[in-house]
Amino acid sequence: METIIQGDNKPIVLEFDESIAGMEQFSAMLYSDSQTYRQWEISDVTIDGNTLSLPLTQKETLAIQSRYVDLEVKFLADGDIEFFDVIRLYVKQRRDGTVFDLGGVRP
């Protein structure tokens, strides 16, 4: 299971079996039962061959208070829905709340 670490700014990286260069439309949403944390469109992501990167900021990952979140991903290529899935991600919470590179700011 993929992991998001609270206070981290690493992107969510998805790898596909085939090239996704022909993607026409893209939508992704990171959410829990009670809250939507982030949404992405095709202009927000980085595509490199068969790899898709969804950027996240420290502020966005600190806002996640759930142990698990769902990532709903869908995209259109050649006029057809090429991919749709809901991916469950584990959220590793920081016990002390300290975040590096933000001057010791606590959530």
Report the candidate in 80, 74, 66 with the shortest Cα–Cα distance to residue 37: 66
Mean pLDDT over each residue of the chain, to the nearest integer? 89
Q: Is residue 87 part of a domain?
A: yes
Q: What is the pLDDT of residue 81?
A: 93
Q: Is residue 98 part of a domain?
A: no
Parent domain of 65 = 3-92
Q: Is residue 66 part of a domain?
A: yes
Q: Is residue 20 part of a domain?
A: yes
Reported as a single tens digit per residue, the pLDDT across 67-99 is 999 999 999 988 899 999 999 999 998 777 666
Q: Is residue 28 part of a domain?
A: yes
Residue with tokens 């009670």: 34
Q: Give dist(CA 2, CA 92) in Å, integer.
A: 10
pLDDT band at 103 (very low <50, low <70, confident <90, very high): very low
Number of domains forming the structure of the chain: 1
How many residues does this entry show for the chain?
107
State both tokens at 34.
């009670």
Q: Is residue 16 part of a domain?
A: yes
Q: What is the pLDDT of residue 78?
A: 86
CATH number at residue 19: 2.60.40.1930
Q: Is residue 7 part of a domain?
A: yes
